[in-house]
């Protein structure tokens, strides 16, 4: 069993963190598939991300298909991830379930394996109240005191707006070290409430803008990394260079290129419709990019209209083209 490291702090969360899917075997879109994991492909991707210079790995959220893996698959993938990473970078696994007790059990399992933390969203059933949402994170922290938490602040997935009073309370939980945001506006709104206590992480598309606004934004998450990690690493390095020189030209140009690459993923130009199909969209995008063997999405989130699939595949091809150009 790996040696458990000390609890991470917000200051330990820096740089580019890859969002990693759980690779699936051919036929995984069928409910008849009892073992859908392609662990060989996962091992290749983990090593490839680390060799590229990625700073951390987040998985088993939306793209990691935490909502469609069986419990056995979750446990085996966690074990594969921790064993393959072998302490080279921090790794956080998703342990969100429908309730607090199952979440605690799965989080303890991940902690015993040696995972550094959990990327934790709220239970998905009733719309949470503010007191219920805060207590959920406090309860998991109390039950799993050595496990860091990255709050997965996705309003569409968890039917909760993650308002400022929420952040004012969870920022005082030592285990809450980072937050994965989907919107830069929400992140900036709450930055003063979490400064020094929780590392606010925007998506790569918003990292340039966030970094120009505040030096405390020094980490980001990337779903594009598994379409080819070079642009992700280049963005991290260009922002670091710009902070030293004051010249943000290259960081902005790379960000603009990323927006060009991902735009076809958004059917109506926004997040709401995208979130209806986001698992299938992103896996089609990743497969089309060709850097990682991701396989099909699992049921019931494997279906999408043909025009949306075409947009996802175009986004993957564009990212692959950008990755070839990245230095």
Contact 229, 25 (CB under 8 A): no
Each as own residue / partner, the long-range contacts of residues 121-127 (CB below 8 Å, 24 or more positions apart, any chain) are: 121/61, 121/94, 121/96, 121/151, 121/152, 121/154, 121/157, 121/158, 122/96, 122/158, 122/160, 123/96, 123/97, 123/98, 123/99, 124/67, 124/96, 124/98, 124/157, 124/158, 124/159, 125/98, 127/159, 127/160
Residues 6 or more apart whose CB falls under 8 angstroms from that of 40 comprise none
Residue 269 backbone class (left: φ over 0; alpha: ψ -120 to 50; beta: rest): left
Instruction: State yes or no: is 152 an active-site residue.
Output: yes
Instruction: State yes or no: is 207 an active-site residue.
Output: no
Name the active-site residue from 63, 109, 137, 152. Answer: 152
Name the active-site residue from 109, 137, 180, 257. Answer: 180
Question: Which burial class, exposed, middle or buried, applies to 316 when counting CB atoms under 10 A from its CB (0-12, 13-18, 19+)?
Answer: buried
DSSP element (H, E) containing 42:
helix 39-52
Contact 1, 20 (CB under 8 A): no
Residues designated as active site: 152, 180
């Amino acid at each position: 069993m790996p040696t458990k490291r000390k609890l991470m702090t917000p200051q330990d969360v820096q740089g580019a963190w890859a969002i990693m899917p759980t690779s699936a075997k051919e036929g995984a879109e069928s409910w008849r598939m009892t073992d859908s994991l392609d662990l060989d492909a996962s091992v290749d991707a983990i090593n490839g991300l680390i060799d590229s210079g990625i700073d951390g790995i987040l998985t088993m959220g939306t793209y990691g298909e935490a909502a469609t893996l069986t419990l056995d698959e979750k446990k085996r993938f966690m074990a594969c991830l921790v064993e393959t990473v072998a302490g080279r970078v921090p790794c956080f696994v998703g342990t969100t379930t429908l309730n607090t007790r199952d979440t605690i059990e799965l989080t303890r399992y991940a902690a015993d394996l040696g995972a550094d933390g959990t990327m934790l969203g709220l239970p998905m059933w009733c719309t949470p109240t503010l007191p219920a949402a805060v207590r959920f994170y406090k309860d998991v922290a109390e039950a799993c005191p050595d496990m860091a938490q990255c709050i997965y602040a996705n309003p569409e997935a968890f039917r909760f707006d993650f308002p400022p009073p929420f952040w004012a309370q969870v920022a005082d939980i030592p285990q809450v070290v980072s937050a994965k945001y989907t919107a830069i506006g929400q992140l900036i709104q709450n930055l003063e409430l979490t400064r020094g206590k929780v590392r606010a992480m925007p998506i790569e598309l918003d990292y340039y803008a966030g970094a120009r606004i505040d030096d405390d934004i020094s980490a980001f998450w990337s779903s594009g990394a598994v379409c080819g990690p070079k642009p992700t690493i280049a963005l991290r390095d260009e922002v670091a260079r710009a902070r030293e020189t004051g010249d943000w030209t290259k960081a902005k140009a790379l960000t603009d290129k990323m927006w060009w690459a991902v735009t076809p993923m958004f059917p109506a130009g926004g997040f709401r419709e995208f979130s209806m199909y986001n698992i299938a969209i992103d896996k089609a995008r990743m497969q089309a990019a060709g850097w990682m063997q991701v396989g099909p999405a699992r049921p019931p989130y494997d279906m999408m209209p043909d025009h949306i699939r075409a947009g996802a595949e175009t986004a993957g091809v564009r990212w692959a083209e950008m990755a070839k150009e990245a230095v």
